[in-house]
Amino acid sequence: MKRGIIVTTCFSLLSVAAIIVAQDSTCPVMVSDALAAVDSLCIGTGRNQVCYGSATLTTETQGGVTHLRLNAPGDLVDAANIQSLQLTGVDEAAIEWGMALMKLQINLPETPPDQNVTFLLFGDVSLTSATSATNEGYTPMQAFYFRSGMGDSPCAEAPESGILIQAPEGVDGVKLVVDEVRIQLGTTIFLQAAPGDALHVSVIEGQATISAFGETQTVPAGTRISVPIGENLAASGPPGALEPHAQETIDGVLSMIERLSDAIIARPVIETGEESFILEASNCLSEPGRVYELAANQVYTVTTLPGCWLTMADTVASEAEVSITLTVDDIPTGTFIGFGPVRACAPEDGGYNFEARYEVGPLPPGLHTLRVIINYPGGRAQAPEGSTDPGTGVETCTVQAH
C-alpha cells in the first residue's frame, strides 16, 4: 500500500510577505497579524483548495502524493491531496497562532465554481480525511475526523480553537460527516471536539440537523448540541439535548469574523438591526404608558418572545404550533420573516423561548396601537408556572410615527 508523506511547515513570521511580529509580541498582536495574513494572502483560494494561513502547519499527504508545496502563508494545495493537517494554538514563545482556510465543493453543484462551503480553521485543531466515507462518493474533506482545543482562548482577541463552517447564502442542504456524525447545515456553524467527550455543534446562523445512532435533532440558531465521541473520535451515542450555545465562546468567534473581509467569511446575521424593537412583557405589558418613537418612512422588524417552555425540545417544537397575529390599529399586518435564536427566559426556574420576527411598515404619521396576539395550543409545559392549557396572550405597544 502506498503511503503519503508528512510535511511540517514552520514559517518565519518575520517574512515581509507574511506576518511581521517582533519578539516581544503579545497574544493580541499575534492574532491580529494572523488574521491580516489570511485576509490578504488567502483571498485567491479556489474550489477544493486549502490555503496555509499562519504559524506551524503539519500535513500528511494522501497515498501516492509525493510532493506538497505548503512552505509559506498564502500557499495553496488541492484538498484532495491532503490526508490530515494539524494547526497550533497560540504559542507566545514561538510567536505563532495557527490558521488555515478551505473552500470546498462538498455536495454543491458544479456551477457556479465560485460558490463554495468555507472552512476556517484556527488554534489547536487536527483534521483527518475519513477515507471510508470518501470511498462512498464524498468529495474531498466532506467527511473527516476532527479534534480541537476547548476553552483555550489565551486572550480576549483570540477565539477558542475550532472550525467555523459557512454555506453560501441561500443554500441549506450542505451535507458533512464529522466524527461519524451526519450534519446538514444552512449558513454558519462552529465546531469543537474533545476526544473521549463530545463533538459540539453551535449554530450561529440558520439551522442544522444532526444525526447519529439513528436519532436526528434540528438545531436552530443560538443553540448548541453535543454528540458523545470516543477517544478514536468516532460517535459513541446519539445527539444530546439542545442547549443555548456558550455565548462567550461564540462572541469570540464573531469578534474574529468582524476583523476579516467578506471575501474570506461573510458576517452572519445574528440580531435585528437598530431599526428594530422588541415586543415582550418587560417592554409592553409592564410599561403601559410608554410610547415608542419611530420614523414614519421606515420598515421595522418587530420581535416577539411568545412564551417560556420547560425544555429546549418543547421550545423548538412550539415554533410550529404557536399561532401569532400582528395588528396595527386592530388591522392584521406584518410579514413573517423567520425565527431568531432560542434563549433562556427564566434561568432561575429553567426555561427557554424563541424569537418570532415580523416586518412592519412603513407606518403613516400619527399614534398607533401595535399588538401581538399569541394563541397557545397547549399540551407543552411552560415555565415557570408549568401550564399545559391552551390560551391567548396579548402584547400591546403604543407607537408614535413621525
Residue 131: what pLDDT? 63
CATH T-level assignment (fold) for domain 6-258: Jelly Rolls (2.60.120)
Residue 174: what pLDDT? 92
Residue 275 CA to residue 265 CA, distance in Å, equals 25
Query: Per-residue pLDDT tens for 153-170?
Result: 888 888 999 999 999 887
Q: Which residue has the higher pLDDT, 18 or 197?
A: 197
Q: Three-state DSSP class for 178? A: strand
Q: Tell me: pLDDT of 69 over 80.
A: no
Q: Tell me: pLDDT of 9 over 50.
A: no
Q: Would you say the CATH fold of 276-401 matches that of 6-258? A: no
Residue 272: what pLDDT? 38
Residue 94: what pLDDT? 62
pLDDT-derived band at 220 (thresholds 50, 70, 90) equals confident
Q: Tell me: pLDDT of 84 over 70.
A: yes
Residue 68 CA to residue 6 CA, distance in Å, equals 9
pLDDT-derived band at 239 (thresholds 50, 70, 90) equals very high
CA dihedral defined by 353, 357, 361, 363, rounded to 10 degrees?
Answer: 0
Residue 273: what pLDDT? 39
Residue 368 CA to residue 366 CA, distance in Å, equals 6
Query: Per-residue pLDDT tens for 274-333?
Result: 444 555 534 565 566 677 777 666 777 788 888 788 887 788 888 888 888 889 999 998
Query: Per-residue pLDDT tens for 323-376?
Result: 888 899 999 988 888 777 777 776 566 678 888 888 887 888 888 888 888 888
- Cell 483555550 found at: 152
Residue 254 CA to residue 249 CA, distance in Å, equals 9
Residue 195 CA to residue 228 CA, distance in Å, equals 9
Grid coordinates representing 219? 438545531
Q: Tell me: pLDDT of 106 over 70.
A: yes
In CATH, the number for domain 276-401 is 2.60.40
Least confident of 108-117, 143-152, 181-190: 108-117
Least confident of 174-178, 214-218, 221-225: 221-225
Please name the amino acid found at residue 383: A
Beta-strand runs (E) in 10-142: 49-54, 57-61, 76-78, 82-87, 99-104, 117-122, 125-129
User: Domains of the chain: which residue ranges?
Assistant: 6-258, 276-401
User: What value does the mean pLDDT of the chain take?
Assistant: 80
Least confident of 4-18, 25-39, 127-141, 289-303: 4-18
Residue 142 CA to residue 149 CA, distance in Å, equals 21
Q: Which residue has the higher pLDDT, 145 or 20?
A: 145
Q: Which residue has the higher pLDDT, 210 or 345?
A: 210
Listed residue (152, 128, 144, 166) closest to 252, CA to CA: 152
Are 310 and 350 contacting, i.e. CB atoms less than 8 angstroms apart? yes
